[in-house]
Amino acid sequence: MLQGLLISGAIRAALVLAAGLIAYALLARAAASTRRFILVLTVGAALVVPLVAAVSPRWRVEAPAALSVFAHEAELAPTATSATTPVGTERVVRAPAHVSSSQGGLDPTEALGLAWLLVAAALLARLGSSQLRARALVRGATLVERGPWGEATHALAGRRVDVRVSAEIDSPVVTGLLAPTIVIPRDALGWTVERCRLVLVHELAHVRRRDVLVQAIADVACALQWCNPLVWLCARKLRVECELAADDTVLAAGVQPTRYAEELVAVATSLRAPNAALAMAERGSLETRVAAILAARLVRAPLAARGTIAVVAVGALLTAAAACATPELSSPPPMTPRTGTANDPAIQRAVDAELAAIATTWSPELATIIVLDPATGEILASGGRSAGQPVDVGSMIAMAPGSTLKPVTIAAALETHAITPTQTFECGPGPRAYGDKLLRDASVNGTLDAAHILAVSSNIGASRIFDALGGENLASWLHRFHFGDPSSVPGAAIGAVPAHLADRSYEGAATANGIGIAATPLEVIAAYGAIAGDGVYHAPTFDRGGSTPERILSSETASAVMTMLETAVVDETATGGAARVAGIRIAGKTGTAQFSPWTAATGPTRASSAWQISRRAASWCSSGSSCRGRTSPGGKTAAPAFARLVTRLLAN
């Protein structure tokens, strides 16, 4: 969530900064005070917009999919459809590169968020140090109460503004966020009354406009948005415009431009004051200022009251729009879920009712339910929704299956005799290291057998089984389960399986855990159908009569995995406990990845149908799915929905 807020806020702030700098450029011939005012509003808005965006209600506006980055952090993960590429009449979906934080070490988005915060903290610490140095400068300076400095201060400010003298600076500065103080060099005590007056008029202009505070706010904006070059550009131009506006104040007092330019050059210094102080004559901007002072026909009058109100109003509207407007992706035309001669109207009604209940409870971006007969491959019912519209999610969208792939990994290892059903594996207590990457479990585990690896959904346990199975074997068995193969359903998307998996590798372990592979819900449900159908695979079909049987597992392996899947529901530690239905033997597996699927098989013979639901995750690094701002894994969202579906079917 934090990474999403940072990215979303940065993009919104960049829009505000770009708009402000464009307005600034268009006002190139306006008074310096007007340009300064525009930049102050711009920097302030850039600082406020990310904070407002994090807590404000959303204004949904339809926009192209390219603008999805402005959405709330839960919308920042790319949808699987964005990775699709038409090939002939088929849609190929590449496997997502993301590995969730539960599957390894520091996720790229986590690293981005951490780097952002560390750099911002360092820059804020530097600002704090600068403020402390400025305060030390004031405390170490001597108060000037007599002579032209003290008299001119009272006469020009109309209130008390301390003037102090210090040997640590060579040019007059003004510092102090809330109680500004003018600090002059020791040589200034011998300046003429005229030069003293010019310097004081300039510095008191900074005091009246609170330029020290304004510059501090700009510095904070730079620290928080440090990777955005626009904020640095805006802050630099703001510093120059503050000086130009103060120069205009001096000229407005009746001082001859040539005389003031001479005095400004005379007090210029190459030495720098603390960043928290505004030096009167920094050499970096001296040439620009002298040219502006001597320029003829230059507007110097400040913005009138009406103009100020208009600029503030427009700025407030733009800020609110940037903070609250969230583009809502333009969706493709809704597709009617597939139906065929195998469709059972009663089951379809139960599926539609449960999808409606899921939409009400969770408001998922994507949801699908498929009911398949494992004995034939017939799809008895299928439903899908995308943003509340009927969409063929089951066959047209590929996603990371997450932990729902673990039973396939275990089935392959059992079938090749790489492991035995009773064999145990060390699954903890800490993470497993792969170089600089770490594989973690959601809970602390010790020694587990395969059944309990499924029950607690141990990532480390699945990696141990992968070590025994081997990379080439896993890749081969994924294809044997028809993952990544052309679908028997016309026009269906094709998932993606890694071409090569090295033994004992992190990538292989991630694939064994269902990350780094893309599969449609139809592919996943067909694989579960093979396990539930005594090891015989039937290609899913919407037509009555089913498809040609293909034995891919022995009856012994299929039965062993089904028993393990029962444990993943009925065991006290099981993540799928919410799928239990009284009087019915349930076998299934929860899963949470970039999308949150949950797959199960149930029936009087332990396997007469199968069901899957998928939901979108909060972000690439999240192990749960985003439901109205809450993180909810498959065991809390899809498993109870499965139990309700079975209850509906039993009632019919």
CATH of residue 390's domain is 3.40.710.10
Tens digits of per-residue pLDDT, 370-379?
888 899 999 9
pLDDT at 321: 66
What are the backbone dihedrals phi and psi of residue 86, each rounded to the nearest 5 degrees, phi first?
A: -65, 135
Same-domain status, 259 and 215: yes
Structure tokens given for 463? 């990696």
Tell me, yes or no, whether 83 lies in a domain. yes
Range with the largest mean pLDDT of 131-135, 278-282, 331-335, 509-513: 509-513
Does pLDDT of 288 surpass 90?
Answer: no
Looking at residue 327, its pLDDT comes to 54
Q: pLDDT by residue (tens digit) across 507-518?
A: 999 999 998 899
Contacts of 298 (CB under 8 A, 6+ apart): 29, 292
Query: Is position 70 within any domain?
Result: yes
Same domain (yes/no): 351, 313: no
**Whether pLDDT at 304 is above 90:** no
Instruction: Judge if 537 and 599 occupy the same domain.
Output: yes
Q: Which residue has the tokens 């028997």?
A: 488
70 Cβ contact partners less than 8 Å away, ≥ 6 residues apart = 8, 11, 12, 63, 325, 326, 327
Whether the CB-CB separation of 219 and 235 falls below 8 Å is answered with yes
Nearest to 467, CA basis, from 416, 502, 422, 420: 502
Mean of pLDDT values over 227-235: 91
Q: What's the CA angle centered on 259, arms 257 and 262, to 5 degrees?
A: 110
Residue 504 CB neighbours (<10 A): 12
Q: Per-residue pLDDT tens for 466-496?
A: 999 999 999 999 999 999 999 889 889 999 9
Task: Report the chain's mean pLDDT, rounded to a whole number.
Answer: 78
Note whether 271 and 181 are same-domain residues.
Answer: yes
Question: Model confidence at 570, in pLDDT bands (50, 70, 90)?
Answer: very high
What's the one-letter identity of residue 540? Answer: P
Mean pLDDT across the stretch 52-74? Answer: 50
Q: What is the distance in angstroms between the CA of the first residue and the CA of the last residue of the chain?
A: 42
Domain-embedded: residue 329: no
CB 72 within 8 A of CB 54: no
C-alpha–C-alpha distance, residues 306 and 317, integer Å: 17
pLDDT at 550 over 90: yes
251 lies in the same domain as 351: no
Comparing 290 with 44, which gets the higher pLDDT? 44
Place of tokens 């372990």: 509
The enclosing H or E element of 328 equals strand 325-329
Output the pLDDT for position 93: 40
Tell me the backbone φ, ψ of residue 563, rounded to 5 degrees.
Answer: -65, -40
Inside any domain, residue 92: no
Q: Do 151 and 280 belong together in one domain?
A: yes
> How many domains, the chain?
2
340 part of a folded domain: no
Sign for the pseudo-dihedral over CA of 466, 470, 472, 478: negative
Q: Sheet with 609-613: list strands edge to edge.
A: 389-390, 379-386, 366-372, 609-613, 598-602, 586-590
Q: Of 287, 322, 357, which residue is a domain's last?
A: 322
pLDDT above 90 coverage of the chain, percent? 27
Same domain for 410 and 449, yes or no, is: yes
Instruction: Give the mean model confidence (pLDDT) for residues 57-66.
Output: 51
Is it the case that residue 213 has pLDDT exceeding 80?
A: yes
Taking the C-alpha atoms of residue 197 and residue 253, their distance in angstroms, rounded to an integer, is 11
Q: Is 489 part of any domain?
A: yes
Range of 10-19, 109-118, 556-565, 626-635 with top mean pLDDT: 556-565
**Mean predicted confidence (pLDDT) in 559-578:** 92
Same domain as 356, residue 493: yes
Q: In sequence order, which residues have a C-beta less than 8 Å from that of residue 295 and are 6 or more positions away? A: none
How would residue 630 be classed by pLDDT, with cut points 50, 70 and 90? very low
Q: Which residue has the tokens 């020009």?
A: 156
Measure the CA–CA gap between 112 and 275, rounded to whole angstroms: 28
108-140 vs 2-26: helix axis angle to the nearest 10? 60
**399 and 295 in one domain?**
no
How does residue 156 score in pLDDT terms, banded at 50, 70 and 90?
low
How many whole angstroms separate alpha carbon 216 and alpha carbon 223?
11
Query: 523-537 pLDDT, tens per residue?
Result: 999 999 999 999 999
Query: Residue 529: inside a domain, yes or no?
Result: yes
Length of the chain: 652
Q: Is the pLDDT of residue 122 over 80?
A: yes
Distances (CA, A) of 146 to 140, 143, 189, 191: 19, 9, 10, 14
* Percentage with pLDDT > 70 across the chain: 73
Higher pLDDT, 534 or 338: 534
In this predicted model, what pLDDT tens digit does every residue of 28-61 receive, in sequence order? 888 888 888 889 989 888 888 877 766 666 555 5
As given in the structure block, the two tokens for residue 266 are: 């005379």
Going by pLDDT thresholds of 50, 70 and 90, the confidence category of residue 618 is very low
pLDDT at res. 426: 96
Same domain, 458 and 519: yes
* Domain annotation covers residue 328: no
Q: Residue 641 sits in which domain range?
A: 345-651
Same domain, residue pair 284 and 371: no
Res. 188 pLDDT band, cuts 50 70 90: confident
Spatial separation of the C-alpha atoms in residues 400 and 99, rounded to whole Å: 9
Question: Looking at the structure, do residues 306 and 356 belong to the same domain, yes or no?
Answer: no
- Share of the chain residues as helix, strand and coil, in percent rounded to the nearest 5: 50, 15, 35
Q: Is the pLDDT of residue 76 over 60?
A: no
